[in-house]
A and B are shown apart, each in its own frame.
Chain A
């Protein structure tokens, strides 16, 4: 093979190789942007800032239905309702109040309605030292037993708050005990967690091609 022929062959080979590379570049296979598997948007209920429960004070402020707190539509005034217990000294919750689960305290001895409710006026609450309180003032009742927690709540270290940290710029809304705790079974209920993080993973293009990537 003479040198001229060799040069021609080499150049032809190189030209073909370059053309192949050009085709590869233009098809943009290696440089194609990574397609990501779709991630569903998180449900708006996880973005909701509302409390677990609504307090009497909330309902009164919003001028909503307070009939649940009007005891004397059924009960008789001046006649405290009798409490009945089963053989294990557990309170028998009457069927009219079947929504109530008695679970205040792990010892099971806090089983007397009138530990907190006022016997002589059912539309009021009553501390153990005999102070009568309205339903709006329920934190005072909770605080009569849960002193340290009440102190923390007053200082803002326990419980929920929203609005403004700077009182000069706007109000803060402090939530009451009963906004989160059911007074009859105050343990904070378990809940479903929001979806966890989706790790960054490239998947086969075909797998996601059909679904839109918002």
Chain B
């Protein structure tokens, strides 16, 4: 080998190796490598109770390691003879957005970037044209004259378009009507976000940031356990509360009592009364054929 070709070859080789190392550099910044356990985890519906126990243990340990708080993680199954329905009184809603933030606090959503399941739309009186809606409104006092407010969140459709498009079956509808997401199975393709006509699904573009003092330690596998970067999430009717018999967080915080929740299969529940007796005028975007389990109603 001549001196010239040696120099040339080694220069090209060094450059090539350096370029390869540089292109792999983002891997060095990856600190959220899946453990073998998580990587090998089976599909939610195929997990035996013993395996689920192990998975919950793993999640508990992971959360404790990350946030320094030992959570109470459960896997709550749907109850028999229960189908959840949500009713929202548009006459009463004053647009104070307390529901938005109670939801964020309850469900461990990312604070920055912000992920919020509920959007409160402000609409001018006499119209239900969503094109005229504004959800960045910022005033000193609500309700404002000439407007009404319509909070929109996951409508828990009976015919959910998001479930149909999921290529890996990471989201499905449970028997109590809640459409859930297995965050460990989601591949982050965001098809469901595109399919949802209500803009109800949110994507974790970054690792969620939750201040330790605001972490809610009462968690459920399909509910509010902390998510990873690159997975979808959305309203799940506070599965960790409602499947334990409690009201959702957005309902409890509503100062105007505009939110109503219950079991539609129970003829004595509030929601049964509302659907039978009140002016329930809308399932949002009814023409889409999604058959929401979220109803808007009026007093009068």
Question: Interface of A with B (CB < 8 Å)?
Answer: 8, 11, 14-15, 18-19, 21-22, 25-26, 28, 31, 33-34, 36, 38-39, 41-42, 46-49, 51-52, 149, 152, 155-166, 168-170, 172, 175, 180, 188, 190-200, 213-214
Q: A170-B246, A192-B140, A193-B139 are in contact. Are A36 and B113 (CB under 8 A)?
A: yes
CB pair A193–B22 under 8 Å, yes or no, is no
- On chain B, the residues within 8 Å of A166 by CB distance are 79, 245, 263
Instruction: List 22 A-B residue pairs with CB atoms under 8 Å apart, sorted by A's residue number.
Output: A11-B12, A38-B112, A39-B112, A49-B253, A157-B260, A158-B92, A160-B255, A165-B242, A165-B269, A169-B244, A169-B245, A190-B94, A190-B142, A190-B143, A194-B100, A196-B135, A197-B100, A197-B114, A200-B113, A200-B114, A200-B205, A214-B209
User: With contacts defined as CB atoms under 8 Å apart, how many contacts are there between chain A and chain B in the complex?
Assistant: 175
In the assembly, what is the distance between CA of A52 and CA of B21, in Å? Answer: 61
- On chain B, the residues within 8 Å of A213 by CB distance are 112, 209
Q: B95 to chain A: closest CB distance in Å?
A: 6
CB pair B96–A157 under 8 Å, yes or no, is no
A168 is contacted by which of B4, B245, B257, B274 (Cβ under 8 Å)? Answer: B245
Q: B293 to chain A: closest CB distance in Å?
A: 14
CB pair A162–B26 under 8 Å, yes or no, is no
CB pair B257–A175 under 8 Å, yes or no, is yes
In the assembly, what is the distance between CA of A155 and CA of B117, in Å? Answer: 28
CB pair B205–A188 under 8 Å, yes or no, is no
Count of B residues near A, CB < 8 Å? 70
Interface membership of chain B positions 1-45, coded 1 if the CB is closer than 8 angstroms to chain A and 0 otherwise: 000100010011001101100110110010000000000000000
CB pair A39–B114 under 8 Å, yes or no, is yes
Q: B244 to chain A: closest CB distance in Å?
A: 7
Q: A37 to chain B: closest CB distance in Å?
A: 8
CB pair A164–B273 under 8 Å, yes or no, is no
In the complex, identify which listed stretch (B101-109, B166-174, B186-194) lies at the interface while the others stay far away. Answer: B101-109
- On chain B, the residues within 8 Å of A49 by CB distance are 102, 252-253
In the assembly, what is the distance between CA of A49 and CA of B252, in Å? Answer: 6
- On chain B, the residues within 8 Å of A163 by CB distance are 246-247
In the assembly, what is the distance between CA of A149 and CA of B299, in Å? Answer: 9
CB pair B96–A165 under 8 Å, yes or no, is no
Question: Interface of B with A (CB < 8 Å)?
Answer: 4, 8, 11-12, 15-16, 18-19, 22-23, 25-26, 29, 79, 87, 89, 92, 94-98, 100-102, 104-105, 111-114, 116, 119, 135-143, 205-206, 209, 211, 214, 242, 244-247, 251-257, 260-263, 269-270, 273-274, 277-278, 299
Q: B120 to chain A: closest CB distance in Å?
A: 8
A31 is contacted by which of B26, B87, B252 (Cβ under 8 Å)? Answer: B26
Q: A15-B12, A22-B19, A52-B255 are in contact. Are A152 and B96 (CB under 8 A)?
A: no
Q: A61 to chain B: closest CB distance in Å?
A: 19
- On chain A, the residues within 8 Å of B95 by CB distance are 193
A157 is contacted by which of B119, B206, B274 (Cβ under 8 Å)? Answer: B274
Name the 8 nearest CB pairs between A and B, nearest first: A169-B245, A25-B22, A156-B270, A166-B245, A194-B97, A160-B257, A18-B15, A155-B273
Q: B240 to chain A: closest CB distance in Å?
A: 14
- On chain A, the residues within 8 Å of B97 by CB distance are 46, 193-196
In the assembly, what is the distance between CA of A195 and CA of B136, in Å? Answer: 9
Closest B residue to A48 by CB, please name it.
B253
Main secondary structure of the interface of A (DSSP, over half): loop
CB pair B270–A157 under 8 Å, yes or no, is yes
Q: A165-B262, A193-B95, A194-B98 are in contact. Are A158 and B257 (CB under 8 A)?
A: yes
Q: A129 to chain B: closest CB distance in Å?
A: 25
- On chain A, the residues within 8 Å of B137 by CB distance are 193, 196
Q: A156-B270, A170-B246, A193-B139 are in contact. Are A162 and B252 (CB under 8 A)?
A: yes
Give me 9 other A-B pairs in contact (C-beta within 8 A), A170-B246, A192-B142 excluded: A19-B15, A39-B112, A42-B104, A46-B102, A160-B255, A163-B247, A172-B247, A193-B142, A198-B113
Closest B residue to A160 by CB, please name it.
B257
Closest A residue to B106 by CB, please name it.
A47
Q: A190-B142, A197-B135 are in contact. Are A162 and B12 (CB under 8 A)?
A: no
- On chain B, the residues within 8 Å of A33 by CB distance are 29, 206
- On chain A, the residues within 8 Å of B111 by CB distance are 39, 41, 214
- On chain A, the residues within 8 Å of B209 by CB distance are 213-214
Q: B191 to chain A: closest CB distance in Å?
A: 20
* Most interface-central of B104, B135, B261 (chain A CB within 10 A): B104
CB pair B244–A165 under 8 Å, yes or no, is no
In the assembly, what is the distance between CA of A154 and CA of B264, in Å? Answer: 18
CB pair A190–B141 under 8 Å, yes or no, is yes
Q: A25-B25, A31-B26 are in contact. Are A191 and B142 (CB under 8 A)?
A: yes
